[in-house]
Structure 1
Amino acid sequence: MGHVLAQHGNERASRSTLRRAGIAAARVLGATSRTVQAIDYGSQLGLQLPFDRAQESEADAIGLMLMARAGFDPEQSIALWENMNADAGPRPPVFLATHPSPETRITSLRNLMGQALSVRTQALGNGIVPDCIPGAVN
């Protein structure tokens, strides 16, 4: 949900267009296929992947606040990433990763937790009751 609200799809499409334009320009200027491959790979490392990680972090923050606003316990987001970290296998080096590491996500969530807990307290005070399946019997 966070990706949609932050319009990450539009941002990704814009960066993809920029990458393709750079590759097309290199071809027009007579770049060899190896040079074009290097430009493509370099643009992925330098342009695409850092934005992917930043977008994941932004989506995590949005999700945390949505969770809190709906009255759910935002501290459970940390428990989720601790479980994900425990179950994770080998990871690529950070510069090749499309997502932040679980450790990075946990740190970011902890940094936002005070704000998220305040949002949840306000939501609960306004009568918000967390409900994953509206109308279901608990």
Structure 2
Amino acid sequence: MKFLVTMISVFSLIACAVSPTGRKQVLLFSGDQMADMGVTAYQSMKQQQPAVEDASTSQYVSCITNRLLQHIPQDMQQKTWEVTVFKDDTPNAFALPGGKIGVHTGMLEIADTSGKLAAVIGHEIGHVWANHGNERMSQSSLAQTGLQVAAILSGEPSAEKQLALGALGIATQGVVLKYSRKHEKEADALGLEMMAKAGFDPAEAVELWRSMAAKGGTNVPEFMSTHPSEQTRINKLSAQLPAVIPFYQQVRNEGRAPVCRR
């Protein structure tokens, strides 16, 4: 009984939400809290890593980013977004709550066209749009709470302890571990539609992943190392192309194609 009362108290604090693709989420942190953490992390990175001094490179990345940001929710557009190109040979990129985006120079070597780079940045913006950072932190917090509950229950009879630990095991594996693939697929889908609406050829997202798959093994960049596999993502993105190509074609037909040159 003590176990049930404790767990009810914990889960009564859960804040439910829905992602941009209609997936149910658990978000325990406010937007302001996430933004503060994102800004703090970004400032720390800027102090530790040098930024490129070449204005044309920064303008190129900002040009792509600004086109993408026109196709996110209005409340996100109202933020003052900041983009930094870091001198770092590792092919990586990120976006943080609070409107902060970073791209490594190493990524520019792999995402060597504006369309490929739009796929990278759109994917990262998609993570922020869908509150994936908040969701991961919330899941981690719930898991830690569950472990604390298990410790409190350690004095209960063995049968009740078994029930408690079993429930926590299900919660940990079912809630915490299974979302990484969903996050990546969701960010892929959001980024693909975003880049198409911005006038970048969505087929270049598929080409980007093919380049990543060609690297193979331990050479796969950190940005591309999460589940699902490269081929799975290629197949999924390819299947989504017919739904987003009309957005791209409309922008081109109206003469609003982005002109972002390095």
Instruction: Bin the TM-score by the shorter chain.
Output: 0.7 to 0.9
* Cα root mean square deviation, aligned: 2.6
Which among 122, 137, 140 is matched to residue 16 of structure 1?
140
Residue 13 of structure 1: how far off its partner (Å): 1.9
Distance in 1 of aligned mates of 2:250 and 2:240: 16
Q: 1:15 to 1:89 in 2, by over 3 A?
A: same
Matches within 5 A, 1:41-120: 45-89=173-217, 98-120=226-248
Distance in 1 of aligned mates of 2:133 and 2:175: 15
Distance in 1 of aligned mates of 2:230 and 2:168: 28
Q: 1:124 to 1:11 in 2, by over 3 A?
A: same
Q: How many residues get paired?
A: 122
Are residues 1:3 and 2:101 paired?
no
Higher strand share: 2
Provide Cα deviations, 1:1-54, integer angstroms capped at 9, x if missing partner. 0001111112112211211111111111128xxxxxx99887664432320110
Distance in 1 of aligned mates of 2:133 and 2:145: 18
Q: Which is higher, the Rg of structure 1 or of structure 2?
A: 2
The 10-residue stretch of structure 1 (11-20 or 124-133) with the greater mean CA deviation from structure 2 = 124-133
Identity %: 40
Q: Mind listing any 5+ residue stretches in structure 2 that lack a counterpart?
A: 1-124, 156-165, 219-224
Provide Cα deviations, 1:54-105, integer angstroms capped at 9, x if missing partner. 0110001111111111111110111111111111206xxxxxx842111111
Q: Secondary structure at the match of 2:138?
A: helix
The answer to whether the Cα contact below 8 Å between 1:78 and 1:109 also exists between their aligned partners in 2 is yes
Distance in 1 of aligned mates of 2:187 and 2:231: 16
Q: 1:80 to 1:128 in 2, by over 3 A?
A: same
Distance in 2 of aligned mates of 1:131 and 1:99: 33
Distance in 2 of aligned mates of 1:39 and 1:106: 36
Q: Secondary structure at the match of 2:212?
A: helix
Distance in 2 of aligned mates of 1:98 and 1:46: 18
Which among 152, 176, 182 is matched to residue 28 of structure 1?
152
Higher helix share: 1
Distance in 2 of aligned mates of 1:70 and 1:124: 10
Provide Cα deviations, 1:102-134, integer angstroms capped at 9, x if missing partner. 11111110111001111101222333222336x
